[in-house]
A and B are shown apart, each in its own frame.
Chain A
Amino acid sequence: MASIELNNVGVHYLIPQAKSAGLVGAMRSLAMGGVIGKRHGRIGVTALDDISFSLVNGDRLGLIGHNGAGKSTLLRVLSGILPPTSGRIRVEGRISALMSIQLGLDSYSTGYENIRSRARFMGLTEEEIDSRFDDIAAFSELGDYLDLPIRSYSAGMRLRLAFSIATAFSPEILILDEWLSAGDDYFQKKARERLTGLIDKTGIFAFASHNDALMARMCNKGMVLHQGKPVFFGEINEALAYHKGVPQ
């Protein structure tokens, strides 16, 4: 059973300004006087503030908010990339975060080699890779190109390969930052069906997008974020309506 539980999760951090970054800067500010001095020249950022909620199997959460509202930060906290600076998080179940799906691809390796190494990168076992290998190769429709180093691919072909690998494995929790798309019209249709199928099979789905219609279709719960704070959490259509009502 997949489950997600967040208690008072916050992400606050200081950005060292370019000027005071480095050892000398830190020593100088230390010498200038205690705790206040340390903060001198640094900007505090609150990316997420006091977020508590829990999700269970069947929940499809849509994150709604303007740019910089904290949607991506929250998704990165959920996927275990970013440890929060306050609060607690507990996530049960295998997570797959479909962000930066081209990370870990090596230009000098062939398509086949990249399928294996990128899948390892995603944390999959050798047996899982073996069982999905042919499916990935077939779905990408790259044919003989899979024997070539991927530096000979066009950007679209690379993305098709990355998409085929990323969507080949069913996790218990799927995290998606903006809808994934790849290739030409024909491939896009295929990709949409594959991604939708993957989401349907997943226990918990967390999604951030600016496409309201897509959100309403894919999600059943919605959370509206405003400057890192959850201002609404409930049924997706109500959340979307609430967000529309909030002045910019």
Chain B
Amino acid sequence: MSNTSIEPNSRISHNEKSPVYYFDASSSRYDYALEDLKRAFARPKLIWSLIRTGFFTRYHGTILGGLWVTATTALTVSGLAVLYGQIFGADLSKYFPYVAVGIVVWGLISTIINDGASVFLAASGTFTQSPIPKSLFVVRAIGIAALGFCYKLIVIAVVVFAVGLRPSLGDVGLSFLGLLMVVWTGFWFALGIGTIGTRFRDVGQLTAAGLTFAFFVTPVFWQASRLGEYQFVVQYNPLAHFLNVVRGPLLGLDGVMNSFIWAGGFSILATVFGVVTFGYFARRLCYWS
């Protein structure tokens, strides 16, 4: 054999330490998951490539492009606000922004939950064929949902200004904090539910069915104050609190602090759920999908 002598390789800097991949099937559970997460977040440019192609592919060749998200939302919000404003006999200057922020934040939450349940199934063709971190696809799903949310923010901004609301910088900041809470919780929840959804295919269907139901028991387009003795529907509904931590500060609604406490609690639960589930089963994902 002539090719046993190796020429020095000019393109690999020998000063750099070579990466080490170590896996012990009897002990590396959490290390494997942690390494996966670390590798996913170490590649911001790749994350952006994946989000960009994932989001804009849908709108290729259209004139409006991503603004179709804005247009669709504007239409839904206007229809709901005008019609249900009439049914509920609500003051449109208060009800319109209420529905606008409600629908947009609900859109973010439901997209994350829905896409989260099938996130690894949808990407299995990729991570079973190439050494790419699995959690990268959760980051991608959250990123695509967040990018859609940004396009919908235009609707919120227009509506809020049109009705003459001028939220203070502090209110906007608090609302942004609430939004970060939604995204943070969404990431860990998607990581966990995605893992379970890969093993049990019914989970995806279950979350889709559950979300339809949740839409009606969450005060997205109706006001919690009208519930009377059914207040518990909102009080023990985590989605209602996640909605309120974003919408409440912006529109000056009641119970914002209460919602922050509940949402904070649920975000801790979701984090534990995501860490434990992905931590325990990340190495099984290739076999399940």
Give complex CA distance A220, B46 in Å. Answer: 37
A117 touches B53 (CB 8 A): yes
A89 to B, closest residue via Cβ = B23
Contacting residues, chain A, for B200 (C-beta < 8 A): 22-23, 26
A113, B30: Cα distance in complex, Å:
36
Q: B168: CB under 8 A from chain A?
A: no
Interface residues of A in 184-222 (CB under 8 A from B): 199-203, 218, 220
Q: Does B127 contact A (CB under 8 A)?
A: yes
CB distance from B129 to the nearest CB of A (A): 4
List CB contacts (< 8 Å) of A86-115 with chain B.
Answer: 86-95, 97, 99-100, 103-104, 106, 108-109
Complex contacts, A117 vs chain B, CB 8 Å: 46, 49, 53
* A156 CB-CB contact with B under 8 Å: no
Do the beta carbons of A200 and B202 come within 8 Å of each other? no
A140 adjacent to chain B (CB < 8 Å): no
B12 CB within 8 Å of chain A:
yes
Determine, out of B3-11, B104-112, B179-187, B243-251, the stretch whose residues face the partner at the interface: B3-11
B-side contacts of A9, CB under 8 Å: 25
Q: Would B129 and A169 count as touching, CB distance under 8 A?
A: no
Establish whether residues B23 and A99, one from each chain, have CB atoms under 8 Å apart when the complex forms: no
* Count of residues in B whose CB is under 8 Å from the partner chain: 44
B57 / chain A contacts, CB cutoff of 8 Å: 106, 108
| Inter-chain contact A81/B129, CB cutoff 8 Å | yes
Within 8 Å CB of A2, what residues of B?
18
- Asked if A144 is an interface residue, CB under 8 A from chain B, the answer is no
Q: B286 and A84: CB pair below 8 A?
A: no
State whether the Cβ of A134 lies closer than 8 Å to any Cβ in chain B.
no
Residues in chain B near residue A1, CB distance under 8 A: 18
**A80 interface contact, C-beta 8 A:** yes
User: Restricting to A52-75, which residues have a CB under 8 Å from any CB of B?
Assistant: 57-58, 60
Q: How far is the CA of A132 from the CA of B127 in the complex (A)?
A: 25
Contacts of A86 in B (CB 8 A): 25-26
Total count of chain A residues near the partner, CB < 8 A: 60
Quick check: B129 and A100 within 8 Å, CB to CB?
A: yes
Chain B residues in 8 Å Cβ range of A22:
200-202
Q: Which of A79, A89, A126 contacts B45 (CB 8 A)?
A: A126
Q: Does B166 touch A at the CB level, under 8 Å?
A: no
User: Across the interface, do B22 and A89 meet the contact criterion of CB distance under 8 Å?
Assistant: yes
Return the contact of B23 from the options A88, A122, A218 (Cβ within 8 A): A88
Residues of A within 8 A of B9 (CB): 170, 172, 201-203
Contact yes or no, A88 B25, CB < 8 A? yes
The CA-CA distance from A58 to B5 in the complex, in Å, is 7
In the complex, whether A21 has a CB less than 8 A from a CB of chain B is yes
Shortest distance between the CB of A126 and any CB in chain B (Å): 6
**Residue A138 interfacial (CB < 8 Å):** no
What CA separation (Å) do A60 and B2 show in the bound complex?
Answer: 11
Which residues of A lie under 8 Å from residue B262 when comparing CB positions? none
A123 at the interface (CB under 8 A from B): yes
Instruction: Say if the beta carbon of B20 comes within 8 Å of chain A.
Output: yes
Determine the chain A residues whose CB is within 8 A of the CB of B128 once the complex forms.
Answer: 76, 81-82
Interface residue A183 (Cβ < 8 Å from any Cβ of B): no
A94/B18 in contact, CB under 8 A: yes
Q: Tell me the bound Cα distance from A2 to B57 in angstroms.
A: 40
- CB neighbours (8 Å) of A95 from chain B are 21, 131
Point out the residues of chain B lying under 8 angstroms from A220, CB to CB.
1, 3-4
Task: Check B94 for interface membership: any CB of A closer than 8 A.
Answer: no
When the two chains form their complex, are residues A93 and B19 in contact, meaning their CB atoms are under 8 A apart?
A: yes
> B12 contacts A90, CB within 8 Å?
no
Complex interface bits, A111-137 against B, C-beta within 8 A gives 1, otherwise 0: 000001100111100101001000000
Judge whether B20 and A90 touch: CB under 8 Å: yes
Chain A residues within 8 Å of B53, by CB: 106, 108-109, 117
Show 16 A/B contacts (Cβ-Cβ < 8 Å), sorted by A. A21-B201, A58-B5, A80-B23, A81-B131, A83-B283, A100-B129, A100-B130, A103-B129, A104-B126, A120-B46, A121-B132, A170-B9, A172-B9, A201-B7, A201-B9, A202-B9
The residues of B with any CB-CB pair to A shorter than 8 Å are 1, 3-7, 9, 11-12, 18-26, 28, 32, 43, 45-46, 49, 53, 56-57, 60, 125-132, 200-203, 206, 283, 286-287
Besides the contacts A80-B21, A170-B12, what 8 more A-B pairs have beta carbons closer than 8 Å?
A: A23-B203, A79-B131, A83-B25, A84-B25, A95-B131, A172-B12, A200-B6, A202-B9
